[in-house]
Amino acid sequence: MKIEYKDKIVAFYQKHGRLPGYKEIMNLLGFKSKNAVFKLINRLVEEEVLNKDAMGRITLNNIFNEIPLLGVVEAGIPETADEIKDNTLNLEDFLVENKDSSYLLEVKGDSMIEAHIEEGDMVLVDRKGTAKAGDIVIAEVDGGWTMKYLRYDKGGQAYLEPANKKYSNIYPQYQMRIAAIVRAVIRKY
Amino acid sequence: MKIEYKDKIVAFYQKHGRLPGYKEIMNLLGFKSKNAVFKLINRLVEEEVLNKDAMGRITLNNIFNEIPLLGVVEAGIPETADEIKDNTLNLEDFLVENKDSSYLLEVKGDSMIEAHIEEGDMVLVDRKGTAKAGDIVIAEVDGGWTMKYLRYDKGGQAYLEPANKKYSNIYPQYQMRIAAIVRAVIRKY
DNA sequence: TTGACAGGTGAACTATCGTTCACCTATAAT
DNA sequence: ATTATAGGTGAACGATAGTTCACCTGTCAA
């Protein structure tokens, strides 16, 4: 199997956002027969590059939205592209549990710096779900918005704790509303 | 335009990895006429939910792999789903520059803790590109792998600096090879 | 009340898709 | 040398896609 074939089809997918049709594959790969495409597709399905559903329609296997996961830093990075595809990760699927209720926010300030969340980081938050003690939450408290640890004191009273000794705990005076739970931190250099 | 229609088509896409065909949309939405589908698609193209390319084939606009970006934490989270879609971000596109040469590694140890990279974080690294002084890099130095700041001393000699006072700078004794540059840090709770 | 219009039905047509059958190479294995 | 096999050509088929035309129907604004 010429790897070139697979690459060209994947490249088409990247460029157009859909897989090429039979005629397009013929042009793409220089085939003169539709049956050559048919057989190629079946080979690719065998190799689990493509999927064919009940209607015979083909889809690209997830592999190509995924990033190889190579283990820990100390193990280093292999030179060959061989053992790589054993374990891959789709960032979106990994990070986002509820697509409908997830949002990104940019972090200002250093109030969570000891939790290793720094200014300029992005936090992925989910509005669904119930916050537990110890979760980092986005809360509206007494009219302002903030990101802090959610804690409960001995009396069962909820309060917010910053991860920075410079700031003090926040006990809501009037009302506090947990708007979202921080599910992930993303920092880009 | 019933939002229900759009949602069902998107749901189909999420489930099957491809857009439904005319017949499938008819079943999905209860239409009895293929032309109803045709007009619906054109309306969705108008709304920039779908794209139609030269061959008349449709693709889903990127919007649905994207996560709303709501500004800074202090601004809070809007209740209504209205003003949300103004600014969205595709995590994959945002973080990954070179798909072919990007990998994920898990972080062990605390040698970069002052750079706010903690044990258990994932780092997204890129094997392509040239590391500049100050970049966090994955390096093979004297037979072992490590993640550190890349620095140059006054003599132009490269060395590795940890972000933790407990550890000292690493000057390569025999050889040092920069295998990849850290492009992003991802932490999931 | 009337008329425009959004959004649906129904039928027709061509192009492409998905598949099957028969057949034709080169190359590698026996 | 001969055989098997991988991978291509070519033609045919029904099913679906994509488009166009004519027409129907409820709603809302003038």
Comparing A57-66, A115-124, A142-151, the range with the smallest average pLDDT is A57-66
Does A15 have pLDDT greater than 70? Answer: yes
At B62-75, the pLDDT tens digits run 655 666 666 677 66
Quick one: average pLDDT of A5-22? 85
State whether residue A75 sits within 8 Å of chain B by CB.
Answer: yes
Residue B119 has pLDDT above 90, yes or no: yes
A105 in Cβ contact with A119 (< 8 Å): no
The model's pTM is 0.74
Determine the Cα–Cα distance for residues B55 and B19; give it in Å rounded to an integer. Answer: 15
**Interface contact B21, partner A, CB < 8 A:** yes
DSSP state letter for B88: E
Count, residues in chain A: 189
Cβ <8 Å between A91 and B89: no
- Provide the positions of strand D that have an atom within 7 A of a protein CB: 6-12, 16-22
**A62-119 tens-digit pLDDT:** 655 666 666 677 666 665 544 455 567 778 778 888 877 888 888 998 989 999 999 9
- Maximum pairwise Cα distance, chain B: 77
Contact B76 A179 (CB under 8 A): yes
The beta strand positions in B40-101, using DSSP E, are 50-52, 58-60, 67-72, 88-89
Contacts of A60 in chain B (CB under 8 A): 17
On whether any CB of chain B is under 8 Å from the CB of A41, the answer is no
Overall residue count recorded for chain B in this entry: 189
Report how far residue B116's alpha carbon sits from residue A107's, in angstroms, rounded to the nearest whole number: 14
Instruction: Find where tokens 């049709």 sit.
Output: A21
DSSP state, B131?
P
Of A66-70, B102-106, B139-143, the least confident: A66-70
Given CA atoms A124, A125, A131, A137 in this order, what sign does their dihedral have? positive
